[in-house]
Amino acid sequence: MNDIAHNLAQVQRKISDSAERCGRSPEEVTLLAVSKTKPASAIEQAVAAGQRAFGENYVQEGVEKILHFNACGANNLIWHFIGPLQSNKSRLVAEHFDWCHTVDRLRIATRLNDQRPAEMAPLNVLIQVNISDEQSKSGIALEELDALAAQVAQLPRLTLRGLMAIPAPESDWQRQFAVASQMAVAFTRLKERYSTVDTLSLGMTDDMDAAIAAGSTMVRIGTAIFGARDYSSRQPQ
């Protein structure tokens, strides 16, 4: 077993343990492997170990990886765009990715809808909530959610699947849980209104346990799987 396969198994075990501690089934929580800055060879090791869902933060880098794996015949992988999305990059996301986690304004949602190829399935989207009200973070305030969700749900080439958040770093489990619970309440309300909503993308390595306890259905894990990231060779995107 290589290092990445070993790391994946450990992360899956932690997800299972977290879920079982709070009376949930481990199958309720999807592991999204965050592969930004990592080479295709690292992703290939994860694929060989059974991982199918990958998250990318940088549009051009993600598209290059998607094209690489499609050319190799690995068409069963699911690609999630999880980074801030600029309007001038929306077409690449619409044309190549399966999911976009970072919809936070109608203009972006409309562009993704209009640019999604007709022959492709609708793009799965999550509305990003700035749950910690950080000036440096993207996302809408919770009080803006109902209005944006209603607008996104009307766009035919998008499927509203739920919510995503990146809470401010917090070392105390109870405080992590309190913030995650706010997202879980909003997610439950959204599920009651829209039959397509089933995903709460919440929790990374340091707050995964609290996020799962609160009700997260998808955790985004990178370094614990692939090791530390190397940004030195990245080109601006």
The predicted-structure confidence for 25-61, as pLDDT tens digits, reads as follows 999 999 999 999 999 999 999 999 999 999 999 999 9
What pLDDT, on the 0 to 100 scale, is given for residue 58?
96
Mean pLDDT for the chain?
95
Nearest CA-CA partner of 95 in 129, 127, 118, 70? 118
* Predicted confidence (pLDDT) per residue in 84-100, tens digit: 999 999 999 999 999 99
| Residue (of 197, 170, 171) closest to 184 by Cα position | 197
- Could you tell me the pLDDT band of residue 233, with boundaries at 50, 70 and 90? low
Q: What's the pLDDT score for residue 237?
A: 55
C-alpha span between 139 and 127 (Å, rounded): 8
Domains and CATH numbers, the chain: 3-226 (3.20.20.10)
pLDDT, tens digit (0-9, with 9 covering 90-100), for 131-165: 988 776 789 999 999 999 999 999 999 999 999 99
